[in-house]
Structures are given as C-alpha cells and as structure tokens.
Amino acid sequence: MLQRVRHYKDQNYRKLRKACQREKVLFEDPFFPITDDSIYYNRSPPGNIEWKRPSELCTDPRLFVDGISSRDLNQGSLGNCWFVAACSCLATEPSIWKKVIPDHKEQEWDPRHPASYAGIFRFRFCRFGSWLDVVIDDRLPTINGRLIFCHSNDIREFWCSLLEKAYAKLNGCYEALEGGNTGEALVDFTGGISEPVALDKENYSNDLDKRKKLYQNLLKAHGRRSLISCSIRPESGDQLEAQMGCGLVKGHAYGVTDIRKVRPGVGLLSFFKNEKLFMIRMRNPWGSTEWNGAWSDGSEEWKRIGQAEREKMGVTVRDDGEFWMNFDDFSAYFTDLVVCRQINTSLFSFHKTWVEATRLSEWLVLAHPLQNRSGGCVNNRDTFLQNPQFVFNIPSDDSALLSLQQEDRRLYRKEGSGQNLSIGFEIFRVELNREYRMHVFQEKVTGSTYINARSVFLRAELKQGSYIIVPSTFEPAQSGRFMLRLFTEMPAKLRELTLDQPKPSFWSCCLGYPKRVTSIHVHSAAGLRLPESSRLPDAYVEISSEGTKVKSKVHKSNCNPDFDLKGLFYRRNEKKPIKIQVWSSSFLRDVFLGQVSVAAEQNESGSSCVVQLLDKSNRQHPLGSLLIEVTSNDDLTAL
C-alpha cells in the first residue's frame, strides 16, 4: 500500500513544471548541477563530458518506445550492474514500475503540444519506510554525443537513463552507484523486504527435494509480483566480472525476468506428456554475453518445444543479454539469489495475509551503561544488552518474518564514510508480561547472520509467548539509524522497551518500592491424576503475585501438558509466596486442579525443582507435579 509521499529536497514536481511552462524555459536542477561533482568524487571523468538533453541526441525522444521491457537496458561504463539488473526486474512488473515512474503518460513527450515540455521528470523510491518523489532535469552526461551510462537499445528511448540519474541524485552522484547489492535497489523500488538465498551453501544443486521446493517457492513469488535477481559469487583470487567458459560472468548481477514450467512436445502431444521442464529466464545488464549451455539461444534443446510455446516464452536467437536455463543448471552455476517480496497485508485477499509492525530507532554511543545503545553483537556479553530492545507477542504458534534495515550510507561516500555497518539481531524468549528492558540473558530462540548489507532478513517459526529482539551492529560503539519490520499472522504488538525498571510514583511511596524481581518459568505437569470417570483435562496454568497475573494457553485433553509459561514479578513483599495454580478449562466454569506456592526459601536465583500440586488448603492430596524454574535479582537499585 502506497504511503504518503515526501518531496525530496522539498522539490514539488507539479509546481516546478508549471513554473517552467509559464516562463517558457526548460528546468535546470540546482540540487544536481551539470558538473563533474555530480558524476565522480574519487576520480577524473573518462573524457570530455557534455550534458545534453534528449532532443539534442535524437529528433523524436520518448520516455518509452513500444512500452517498457527488460530488454531495453544496457549498462554503460558505470560499475552498477546491480542497479541495472534491478531495473530489468522492475520492467517485468507493471504494478511496480508504474509506482516508480508515476504518471508516466503525463511525463511522456507530446509532439502535439511541444510547448508543454518543461525538461523535468520525477521518479519515486522507497527509503527507510518513506516514499520519496525525486525530481531531475533531462540533461544527461555524454561523450562524443553518446550516453556514457545506462541507455536503451533504441536511441529515442530515455526512461532507463532518466531513472538512473534520479537514483544517482538520491545517492549523491553517479560514482556512488558503483558496487552494490541488487536487493538494495529492489527494496527501493518496492518498499518490500529482501530475502537472500545462498544456493551453494544450502546445497540446492545436490538435493533434488530442496531444489524442487525452492523452484515452487520462486514460481509462487514471481506470480505474486516479487522481484528476483541472482549472481555467481567470485572465489578468492578470481578476476571480478570474468567470463566463464559457459558464458556466465562471476561477480555480476543478473535480473530474473521469467519463471515457468514448460511441457515438451509439439501441439496437442505436449498435453499428453507428464514431463515438465523447470525453466528460468535471466538478463545480463550488459545487453550481451549470454549462457551458452543447454537451452541457450539457438541450442538443440529448443527443438523439443513447439513454435507457439517458444513465441509465448519470448525465445530469441540474438545476443541481447536475455537467456533461458533449466533450473538444475541454474542451481549448479549460480551461488546467490535475492527475492524481494511485497508482503501481502491486504485484508481482502485470497492469499495468506500478514500483519506488519514497523519501528524506527538508532544505535547511540553514550558513556553511561544504562544510556548506551550500541553494545555490539552477542560476543560482547558485557555490553550486548545495552542495545535497543523490542518486545512482541505471538498469540499462537506462528511464522514470523523479520527485516532489519539500516539507513542507507551510500550518500556519504564522498565524505569517506559510506560503507554499510555489519548488522544483525538476536531473538530471546522472555516472560509473558515483560514490560522493562532485559538485563540478564534469557533463552535464545534464533538469530540472524551479521552482514554488512543494508538489510538483514530472517524467517522464524515461533511458539506462543513473548519475545525480545535485540538488533545490533557487529562491533560495539557504532552509531546509526535503523528500521525494524515484523510480519506475523496475528497482531504482535511490537514496541521498544525504553525503561530499565518501574518508575517511582506516589503509590510506590505509600506501598513501597519493589525490592526483588523474580522470574518464574513453569515447564511441565507430570501425571495429573483424576478420577477414572473424568475426561482428560483442558489444562492451563496461572501464576500470580501481588495483584499481577499471567496465564498460559489451554492444553486440550492432555494429562502431561508442557505449559512453558514465563512470568516476571516486581515484588514489594519478598516473603509473600508466589502462587501457581493449575485449572481445567470448561464451558460453564473452570475447575481448580491444584496449586503450588513458591516460598521465600525457593527464590534462590537459577533454582529449579519438581513440586507437588496441593489443594487450596495446602493439604497433601497431590494431583500431580510441576517442574518450575525460579530466577531472582535482588539488586534493583543497582540498575
């Protein structure tokens, strides 16, 4: 869903365009002037650069010629194959490119009304959760009358050149686009989340079942407007962008432009065959240099496919950079895959929908331990919990998608500080009623890898309960802003924990300030014994202390339920026991099964024990037993 759009540099496209039309002048962008600084910051230009408008390069300029296609683009002399590959993906999905190039018909040259042309264009990118309208003029860098950067096969078509210029403006200059991850541009185009897949490390080429499952997932993702790119990771000592014997190029980004299952055969015979070919199509941003193995342009394998099907697939026999491969060969040669998903958050959908929660925060370097918010990764155990902490709830066992995105730093390359921080996060299971920051390590459930990419993604299967995410930089004492996004099936109530402990108040003066914080973890019930005529209980457990209460989910028809319930209690009267009660859920009223009181002598930190359930009068009529774990911290005042 498109959010409110902000004007980059406060440049309003419509106002600027009307002003130029009124004054009968062509727009000149003061924020991206036609100087060498707009092109390079670290080296000299490769020749005598002249900035020319499209009308100076051809007689009939157009934004699009015969529509938009992934075959339109050629990379040029800038090392930004990652961006051009992303543009190839963009061109395959109308619902996305029409968002990136808004009101494209209005921006098109109109030969019938030449006076309306104002030399101004706008493009739209999603940055850090906000959509930005980026305005540019149409002056493009050339040498000897030819465009030196991204350009179309047709000299009259300029959408890709203008889009690249807008992206260069957003990032400071053209040179700032050299070297990058295709997923970065795909996220900027869609506002989605980037999911990387390491094909070699996860052994897809040798595992048929995994490979089939991945193909089905990619087919589904492509059908749901996800954008996909791939690359071959160079090994140590390899020359960057060196061509392999098979025609593929290492260290080079390719855009995936189609995925489809194909039946071999000609005409009606193909429908009676059970065989299916798993095919994937890619495009080299260079506009040439293709795969030369099986199913390459003009290869013998295409004789197995009818002419009509080949035309439907767009098979061409020319070196235009676009080619097909079967998925087995693809998995054997390519090492990395990036899937940029647009997560479905619509309430009106036939597909699975997700609930999104987004929070912005930052890593801050401060001297005081309780104020510092940059403690480094979990290897720095003394400082890790000083990082920002976010709590969320999973109402029932559920999948969760998590994305951590740092602020783009490419804009600061001119200043020598444009490198991404190495970032990641850890997830801990905590007490169901956790309201304050965690100061002691708890059960780690999962975590991401730490990489120096703009975003990190993780898909996790989580049980019912409360969790804390701790995003961090790999090294301590590093500053930066970040955005955390969480997608779950049910609302997760994601929020940042900012307080270390309860604040003193008027009531704490009257009733006393908490002296002890105690964490209770109730694990399992062993052998709840009931009369033979009774059905198995729908049991749940409840923990209460000084007016605070937490309750587990109901375990249906189970004599040995694993309650796995954690509660946190700030206690003014440490001698007053904590009460744990087991109940059986019923339609009319819940039935009491037994209870345990955790007395002061059981409050030693880290103790665990098996205790018998008693009746409400604490008489020795055990119905079973509970395994509980107690963790206490007496030193609240030390925080």
Average pLDDT over residues 622-626: 67
Answer for the pair 465, 429: CB distance below 8 angstroms, yes or no. yes
* Confidence at residue 355, expressed as pLDDT on a 0 to 100 scale: 92
Report the alpha-carbon distance of residue 253 to residue 181 in Å, rounded.
Answer: 8
Answer for the pair 615, 597: CB distance below 8 angstroms, yes or no. no
- Please identify which of the residues 20, 74, 80, 81 carries the catalytic annotation: 81
Mean pLDDT value across the chain: 88
Question: CA nearest 523: which of 489, 562, 581?
Answer: 562
Chain center to CA of 239? 31
Residue 626 has pLDDT above 90, yes or no: no
Answer for the pair 610, 630: CB distance below 8 angstroms, yes or no. no
Answer for the pair 560, 529: CB distance below 8 angstroms, yes or no. no
Residue 534 has pLDDT above 60, yes or no: yes
Report the alpha-carbon distance of residue 170 to residue 444 in Å, rounded.
Answer: 39
Quickly state the pLDDT bin for 639 (edges 50, 70, 90).
very low
Element (H or E) spanning 127, and its range?
Answer: strand 120-127
| 628 or 521, greater pLDDT | 521
DSSP symbols for 402-436: EEEEEPP-GGGGGGT--PPPPEEEEEEEE-TT--S
Residue listed under structure tokens 């209870």: 595
How far is residue 273 from each of residues 267, 277, 514, measured CA to CA in Å? 11, 11, 74
> Is 603 among the residues known to form the active site?
no
The pLDDT tens digits for 471-493 are 999 999 999 999 999 999 999 99
Question: CA nearest 68: which of 1, 144, 159?
Answer: 159
Answer for the pair 387, 423: CB distance below 8 angstroms, yes or no. no
| 51 or 320, greater pLDDT | 51
Report the alpha-carbon distance of residue 636 to residue 639 in Å, rounded.
Answer: 6
pTM, to two decimals? 0.89
Average pLDDT over residues 420-428: 97
Quickly state the pLDDT bin for 593 (edges 50, 70, 90).
confident
**Is 612 in a helix, a strand, or coil?**
strand
Report the alpha-carbon distance of residue 608 to residue 627 in Å, rounded.
Answer: 7
**Is 76 in a helix, a strand, or coil?**
coil
**Is 287 in a helix, a strand, or coil?**
coil
Report the alpha-carbon distance of residue 179 to residue 177 in Å, rounded.
Answer: 6
Answer for the pair 335, 292: CB distance below 8 angstroms, yes or no. no
Quickly state the pLDDT bin for 195 (edges 50, 70, 90).
very high
Task: Of 68-77, 534-543, 605-614, give the range with the top mean pLDDT.
Answer: 68-77
Quickly state the pLDDT bin for 204 (edges 50, 70, 90).
very high
Check residue 468 and report its DSSP letter. Answer: E
Q: Of 108-117, 123-132, 483-492, 603-612, which gets the smallest average pLDDT? A: 603-612
The pLDDT tens digits for 52-69 are 999 999 999 999 999 998
Write out the two tokens for 250.
Answer: 């290492």
* Confidence at residue 240, expressed as pLDDT on a 0 to 100 scale: 73
Answer for the pair 197, 336: CB distance below 8 angstroms, yes or no. yes
Question: CA nearest 604: which of 524, 519, 547?
Answer: 519
* Confidence at residue 635, expressed as pLDDT on a 0 to 100 scale: 45
> Is 609 among the residues known to form the active site?
no
* Confidence at residue 600, expressed as pLDDT on a 0 to 100 scale: 52
The pLDDT tens digits for 317-367 are 777 889 999 999 999 999 999 999 988 776 555 567 899 999 999 999 999
| 587 or 83, greater pLDDT | 83
Region label for 155, one of left (φ > 0), alpha (ψ between -120 and 50) or beta (otherwise): alpha
Residue 637 has pLDDT above 50, yes or no: no
Answer for the pair 324, 315: CB distance below 8 angstroms, yes or no. yes
The pLDDT tens digits for 430-454 are 999 999 999 989 999 999 999 999 9
Average pLDDT over residues 616-625: 66
> Is 284 among the residues known to form the active site?
yes
| 301 or 123, greater pLDDT | 123
* Confidence at residue 633, expressed as pLDDT on a 0 to 100 scale: 58
Report the alpha-carbon distance of residue 467 to residue 429 in Å, rounded.
Answer: 5
Write out the two tokens for 77.
Answer: 């002399």
Count Cβ atoms below 10 Å from residue 443 Cβ, excluding itself: 12
Region label for 84, one of left (φ > 0), alpha (ψ between -120 and 50) or beta (otherwise): alpha
Q: In terms of residues, how long is the chain? A: 639
Question: CA nearest 435: which of 497, 388, 384, 484?
Answer: 497
Question: CA nearest 452: which of 408, 411, 414?
Answer: 408
Report the alpha-carbon distance of residue 393 to residue 430 in Å, rounded.
Answer: 10
- Please identify which of the residues 74, 80, 171, 284 carries the catalytic annotation: 284
Report the alpha-carbon distance of residue 442 to residue 468 in Å, rounded.
Answer: 10
Average pLDDT over residues 6-26: 96
Quickly state the pLDDT bin for 634 (edges 50, 70, 90).
very low
Report the alpha-carbon distance of residue 196 to residue 181 in Å, rounded.
Answer: 10
- Please identify which of the residues 252, 340, 521, 603 carries the catalytic annotation: 252
